[in-house]
Structure 1
C-alpha cells in the first residue's frame, strides 16, 4: 500500500478549507453528489481538485 502513496500527496480537504476562507465563490460553486461509495468518493475528489485548480488556484 505504501508504494501507491507519496509524501507529496495533495489534500483536497485543505484546499477546500482555504477556498472557503480566501475565495468563498470558488468554495460554494462546487456541489458534491454525496454518493458515498469508495470509488465514487475517489472520482468526486478528483473532480473537486480539478474545480479548485481552475477556480481557486487559477492554474
Structure 2
C-alpha cells in the first residue's frame, strides 16, 4: 500500500501527475494521482481516459 499523499514537505510526498513529458504516455494506478488504494487506482484510470478522449484540457467531471 503506498504511503499517503501529503502536500507538506515541498511537495515531496505528492503523487506524480497522470501526464508525462512524452506525448501519449500516462501514469495510472496507486502510485500516481490521486493516490493509493483500489478506489483511487480506478479514479486514476478514469482521469487518464478523460485525458485521452478530451485532450489535455480535461480537468475531471464537470
Class of the TM-score when normalised by the shorter of the 2 chains = 0.3 to 0.5
* TM-score computed with the length of structure 1 as normaliser: 0.38
* TM-score computed with the length of structure 2 as normaliser: 0.36
Q: Which has the higher helix share?
A: 1
